Every structure is written in C-alpha cells, then in structure tokens.
Structure 1
Amino acid sequence: MDPSPNAAPPLLRTLTLPSEANLNGGVFGGWIMAELDKAAGLLGMRRAQGACATVAVENLRFLAALKVGEEFSVYGRVESVGRSSMRLKLDGFAGSPAGGERRPVVEALFVSVALDAEGRSRPIPEASA
C-alpha cells in the first residue's frame, strides 16, 4: 500500500526517539513490531466492533531501516474476515516530521480474533454498509 494524499489517514503516527535505537543506529525491530501490533489492535477493534487480540503474525518483512528522528506511520486494511478472526494487512512508512515524501519500511500480515467479555473468541458482526 502506498498512501496517496487522498488515502485514509494512518492508523498510527509517531516520532522515533533515541530510546528506540538499536546497535546500528536505526530503530529496534521489536519496537516497530509493537507499533504494528497497536495499529492492528485499532483496526481489529473497529472491524470487530469491540475487543480483539493478535493471535498470529503470518508475515513481517522489514523493507528498509527506520531511523531515529523519523516519523513512522502505519496504514492498514482488513484483508479478510472469518467467523471470529480476521487478517489485517499493515504497511509502515518513514518520513521526515517536516513532511514530504515517505518510504516503505515494513509490511506485515496480522491475524486477530474478536473477544467477548470473558476473553473467549466471539463472532465478528457483519460489515455495516
């Protein structure tokens, strides 16, 4: 997914800080994955109309280094919906906090399950028109 100016806003947008640096001066991959999980949680909750949890990451691919001081934006879409689970496609982009061009740095496919009040899986409601 390459977000255009007319695309939906990002699920998540944050600034990378020195505390997220790895030994090579880039951003630690575990931090990136945590941000993706937050974005998946937001997207999943919207589609499931309530609580949900990540149960698997089927694919996570780092495309380029994310640097300290860059803005990190995550875009996503629901790829498919089953009875109680859904596959969520996430794409992360890096760019200058001042604006301008963004570049892809990560892509992932998360699997999320809708949860009831007791933490058990529940059916996902039909999509509203």
Structure 2
Amino acid sequence: MDAPETADRLPEVEGGPHLRTVAMPRDANASGDIFGGWTLSQMDLAGGTFAAEHAGGRVVTVAIEAMRFLRPIAVGDEVSCYCSLEKTGETSITVKVETWARGRGRGKPPEKVTEGVFTFVAVKKD
C-alpha cells in the first residue's frame, strides 16, 4: 500500500483550495463517518465553480470518472477541495478534484481522502 499523502504534498494550485468546509454531524452515517455522497457534492460544487470560471459562464456536470474514496472523513474534520484543469474541449471542461481532510485538534497533517475527475459542459440561458 502506498504511503499516505500529507501536507508536504498538498496540490499546488493558484489561490489555495477552491472549497473549504467543516464536516458536521448531520453529514455522518451511524458509524460517525461522513457520507460519500456529501463528499461528492462538495467536490461537484468546487469543480463546478472552477469550471464556470474557466468557461466564463454557467456549466453543468455531465460525467464523473475515476472516483476514488481513499480514507473516511470524520465529523469535525476540515475538508478542502483542490481543482486542476485536466483538459478543455469546444464546450466541455474536465477537472481533477482532490479532497483533503485535516482532523480538528488531532495534530495530524492533512490527508488526501478522495479524488475524482469531473466533466462539465458549458450551457447558455436557453
């Protein structure tokens, strides 16, 4: 098994994370781990905002590929999503999203918990 990625290797993206939030009890399952769907929605928000900035307008999610859940997120963890441009087409934008979590009060460095590749398509008002 590969060594966990730590703060020494956080993604180098301009402006830091594209989304940062704290995982709350309402987002957890009965075991105290954060639902994968909640994590996925945070990644979609971060990636969509990033893609909209690059597209200069509204975008919608059309595909999620290569999704990997690497570690659980706990209630109280600070969750950060980092986005990087993978490729662009005439109307599509593919974005890699990495999610990192830092345990509150645990003195541990951030760890990568999830990663995925999202494809967005630019749309007009009508």
For this structure pair, what is the TM-score category when the shorter chain's length is used for normalisation? 0.7 to 0.9
Q: Report the counterpart of residue 69 of structure 1 in structure 2.
A: 76
| Higher normalized contact order (CA 8 Å, seq sep 6+, divided by chain length) | 2
Contact 1:52–1:113 (Cα < 8 Å) also in 2: yes
Q: Aligned pairs, how many? A: 118
Kindly indicate whether residue 117 of structure 2 is the aligned counterpart of residue 109 of structure 1. Answer: yes
- What displacement does 1:101 show? 1.4
Taking the aligned partners of 1:48 and 1:100, their CA distance within structure 2 comes to 37
Q: 1:81, 1:5 → 2: CA distance?
A: 20
Q: 1:53 to 1:101 in 2, by over 3 A?
A: same
Task: For structure 1, list consecutive stretches of 5 or more residues without a partner in the other structure.
Answer: 119-129
For structure 2, list consecutive stretches of 5 or more residues without a partner in the other structure.
Answer: none
Asked if structure 2 preserves the Cα contact closer than 8 Å seen for 1:85 and 1:113, the reply is: yes
**Pairwise CA distance, 1:59:** 1.9
Q: 1:96 to 1:5 in 2, by over 3 A?
A: farther
Offset at residue 8 of structure 1 (A): 3.4
**Does 1:14 pair with 2:21?**
yes
Query: How far is the alpha carbon of 1:9 from its aligned partner?
Result: 0.9
Identity %: 34
Instruction: Report if aligned partners of 2:83, 2:97 keep a CA contact under 8 Å in 1.
Output: yes
**TM-score, normalisation: structure 2:** 0.86
Structure-1 residue corresponding to 2:60: 53
For 1:93, give the aligned amino acid. Answer: W
Q: Secondary structure at the match of 1:33?
A: helix
Determine if contact 1:15/1:97 at 8 Å carries over to the other structure: no
